[in-house]
Amino acid sequence: MANCLSDFPPGPLDKYRKLASFDWKQLSLFLNGEEFLNYRNELYNEILKYSVLLEQTDQTPTLDELRRKTTQKVFALKLVRDSVTARTNCNYADMSFAESSLAYLLDPSASVKRSVTFYMFTSVIASMGTERHRHFIENCLNGEILGCFGLTEIGHGSNTRGMRTTATYDPASRQFILHSPDFQAAKCWVGSLGQTATHGAIFAQLVTPDGIKHGLHAFVVPIRDSKTLVPYPGVKVGDMGEKIGLNGVDNGFIMFDQYHIPRENLLNKIGDVTEDGRYVADITDPNRRHGAALGNLSDGRINITSVNMCYLSKAVTIAIRYAAVRKQFSATEDDEEIPILEYQSHQHRLLPHLATFYAFRTFCKYLLEERDKFQLLLNKKSIDVHRITNTGLELHAISSACKSLAGWYARDAIQECREACAGHGYLKASGLGELRSNQDVCCTYEGENHVLIQQTSNWLLRLWPLVLKGKSVSTPLNTVEFLNRAPQILTSKFTPNSFEELTEPKNILDTFQWLVCYLLKLSFEKYESLKQHSLHSVESKAFWAKNDSQVFYAKSLSIAYIQHLILTAMSDKISKAADFKIKTVLEKLFALFAVTCLEKHIPFLYAGSYASGPTAAVLIQDSILRLCKSIKNDAIALVDVIAPPDFIVNSVLGYSDGQVYKHLEAAMLRAPGALSRPSWWKEITNWKKNIHSKL
């Protein structure tokens, strides 16, 4: 068995640990697999070799100092990854999740910065460039040049078609001339651009000498001299200053003033400009070219899904361990005080989030594996273009929804955990504040959630006409195979009458299939009817109909679709559990996640006449409470399975020894200057001399 799982130090958490109905190591092994655990262990041990990664500070440093430290960590983390991947051969899915669960939790800023500096830059070049750009990739991965990824502009983010930076080809000098017409067209938010990047993968409108615009294309653009870090003439580049979180990352803005770069720096896989200035491209349709130019953004979204879940796991680790130790109130004066984990309301606030992690854990693995298979397909340059395209689209639909949903789940979980730790949760040393500030942005970058999730419903809506025509629906990843039974599903009814029936996996999946069919049908009908009765001009009818069908029902549709997929992945995994105890606890978590999701859809169950009478609503609520109660005694062991190592938990409330008060005491007394007078004490005692009113 995995010897990488070591026991926890004894302490106040023992009481609950002993109550657990299963062996946490067994569960960890089953859930994660040996390969993952070994890889994570290697990674962890490697991290421990770098002193800069081990530094912990009680006090927020200045922005400049933070940037400096973060940059050092970026290089350290890169070396860690290089050396571990070189000596282990771990599959992509496990490796990627392990990175999220360690590096991203250890230092989100450094991990994000590492990602843009080395991986995003190179992956744009790899997917859109050709042989002539290979040296950029090599130079970057060797750390000789530092990259960044520049798409967003001040005036345009989600609407990439509206980007206004131009790259005009000048046949005389055989160069592209990059130009930002005004401040609104400045590239901004570009991670690593603020202070450090020497090169950027920059997206701009390609313009040929005849004045024709050919849409967005990516260029490799030198920004700073790597020996002096001084920007080249013709670019005005700067740092955006302080943000809510991720302050270790130097997000920057840049404006080009007729800035020349070599013709060869155009990443020319989808389109190229000849020396004499003619545009040549395989794809002639500009719309399709736009899609291709942005390349495959699913990867980033799939990763963010895991990262969000790891953020969530850290928050619930802290809050649940604290809840098991923190006591407040007793039944009568003579009784013992009660751990707050025992309160129904507290269980209900925390345990569903724990279940969320478990549900996503298997889903993430599934998704990362699918992503990996897709990459193989691409690498093989397989002739089946059709299949490649369709797989890409389905992955896009999946990742657009799960990235958004994971972001919202993590956001809500972190906030609830923060509140659940009440006063002490508000200490910086609880770790929850920074977690929140760093996670927050996951709802915005790599596709703003509310804009992104529309992609999923768009994809689904294109399938519904097949159903209406009675044609078969078949997609490469088989995520909506059940649409073929849509007519029957839509006439089915909610049947469960008891807790057991409600939480039975098959019934759960049936209910979600009904939801997807129902919401898809409604979204489609709403869209069509809006379009038909629209008073807008012919060309904009579809645009408005799409916008006005988002609240109802497209957003809910995307959510239900992805929840169904997550539940399917989890139930497949559970069916493989041999150990009865493990199976039982996972079934409870499955049910808790499922029923909590379902709770939000109750009005649809009624509106669609799937359910009627009070039973459904009452049953769903009662089941949630019942599940919370029955998971409560396992909660600490379940947290032990998903908790990062103590050094990465890095929270006085959440260490595995449960010695909350000892850690609190140490933190409060240790803080530099905690017990001394402030250096400016005289300004207070002599304040009458210092301060003069102007009134």
Partner 1 sequence: MSADTSFIEDLPAGPLDAYRKKAKFDWKKLKLVFEDVNLLKMKLKVWNALEKDSIFQRPEKELLTKEQKRIAALQLQQFRKYKFMPTNGQKASIKDRARYLMTINEALAAAYPDVSVKQALGVFLFQNTLATLGTERHQHIIEALWNRQILSALALTEVAHGSDAKNMRTTAVYDKETQEFIINTPDFKAAKCWVGNLGKTCTVALVFAQLYIGDQCYGLHAFVVPIRNPKTLLPYPGIIVGDIGEKIGLNGVDNGFIMFQNYKIPRENLLNKISDVTPEGEYESRISDPTKILGATLENLLAGRVGTMQESANNLACAVTIAIRYAAVRTQFGPSNNEELPIIEYQLHQWRLFPYVAAASILKIFSTAAIRHYLNVIEISHTETTVDNLNDMISEVHAIISAGKPLTTWACRDGIQECRECCGGHGYLKAARFGELRDTIDARITYEGDNNVLVQQTSNWLLRQWHSVLEEGQVCSPLSTCSFLKDHLVILKFKFNGSTVQDVKNINFITRCYQWLITYLVKITHDKQTALLEHSKCKFTARNDSQVYKAAILSRVYGEFVALKYYWKRINRNDVEISLRPILETLGILYGLSCLDKHLVYLYQGGFANNHSLSELVKNGILDVCSLLKSDVVAVVDALAPPDFVINSILGKADGKLYEHIQAEFFNNPGAMSRPSWWREIKVDNAPELKIRSKL
Ligand X SMILES: Cc1cc2nc3c(=O)[nH]c(=O)nc-3n(C[C@H](O)[C@H](O)[C@H](O)COP(=O)(O)OP(=O)(O)OC[C@H]3O[C@@H](n4cnc5c(N)ncnc54)[C@H](O)[C@@H]3O)c2cc1C
Query: Does residue 52 belong to the site contacting partner 1 (CB under 8 A)?
Result: no
Please count the other Cβ atoms lying within 10 Å of the Cβ belonging to residue 386: 9
Instruction: Output the smallest distance, CB 575 to partner 1, in A.
Output: 31
Which residue in 446, 504, 587, 599 is the catalytic one?
446
Footprint (CB under 6 A) of ligand X, residues 241-280: 246, 251
The reply to whether omega before 553 is within 30° of 0 (cis) is yes
Q: How far apart are CA 378 and CA 383, in angstroms?
A: 10
The residues in 512-571 that bind partner 1, with binding defined as CB under 8 A, are 536-537, 539-540, 543-544, 547-548, 550-552, 555
- State which H helix or E strand residue 221 sits in: strand 213-222
Q: Which of residues 109-138 bind ligand X (CB under 6 A)?
A: 116
Cα-flanking dihedrals φ and ψ of residue 59, to 5°?
Answer: -115, 135
Question: Any contact of residue 504 with partner 1 (CB under 8 A)?
Answer: no
Please provide residue 679's backbone torsions phi and psi, each rounded to the nearest 5 degrees.
Answer: -60, -25
Look up 448 and say whether it is catalytic: no
SS3 214: strand
Question: How far is residue 407's CA from residue 411's CA, in Å, rounded to a whole number?
Answer: 6
Tell me how far, at minimum, the Cβ of 390 lies from partner 1, in Å: 26
**DSSP state letters, 148-207:** -EE--BSS-SS-GGG---EEEEETTTTEEEEE--SGGGSEEEETTTTTT-SEEEEEEEEE
Residue nearest to ligand X (CB): 157
Minimum CB distance to ligand X smaller for 345 or for 389: 345
CA gap 109, 117 in Å, rounded: 12
- Binding at 663: pick from partner 1, ligand X, none (beta carbon under 5-8 Å per type): none
Binding positions for ligand X, 429-448, rule CB under 6 A: 441, 444-445, 448
What's the burial of 60, exposed, middle or buried (CB within 10 Å: 0-12/13-18/19+)? Answer: exposed
Q: Is 57 annotated as a binding residue?
A: no
Site string for partner 1, 140-179 (x = CB under 8 A): ---xxxx-----x-xxxxxx-xx----------x-x-x--
Q: Is 478 in the site for partner 1 (CB under 8 A)?
A: no
In the list 34, 61, 258, 329, the residue contacting ligand X (rule: CB under 6 A) is 329
If one asks whether residue 312 binds partner 1 (CB under 8 A), the answer comes out as no
Residue in 15, 35, 72, 466 binding partner 1, rule: CB under 8 A: 72
Stretch that binds partner 1, among 233-241, 268-276, 350-358, 500-508 (CB under 8 A): 233-241
CB of 47 to partner 1, least distance (A): 20
Virtual torsion, Cα 559, 561, 564, 565, nearest 10 deg: -110
Tell whether residue 280 is a contact of partner 1 (CB under 8 A).
Answer: no
Task: Rule CB under 8 A: say whether 427 interacts with partner 1.
Answer: yes
Can you tell me whether residue 575 is helix, strand or coil? helix
d(CA 46, CA 42): 6
Does the annotation place 191 within a ligand binding site?
A: yes
Q: Please give the structure tokens belonging to residue 186.
A: 């400045």
191 touches, from partner 1, ligand X, none (C-beta below 5 to 8 Å by class) = ligand X
Stretch near partner 1 under the rule CB under 8 A, chosen from 9-17, 378-386, 387-395, 429-437 = 429-437
DSSP state of 692: -
Task: Based on the shown chain and the rule CB under 8 A, indicate whether residue 599 belongs to the binding site for partner 1.
Answer: yes
Length of the chain: 695
Is the Cβ–Cβ distance between 20 and 585 less than 8 Å?
no
Is the Cβ of residue 41 or residue 152 nearer to ligand X in the bound state?
152
Binding residues for FAD: 152, 191
Give the interface with ligand X as residue ranges (CB under 6 A).
116, 149-152, 157-158, 189-191, 246, 251, 326, 328-329, 340, 343, 345-346, 419-420, 422-423, 426, 441, 444-445, 448, 450-451
By annotation, the residues acting in catalysis are 446
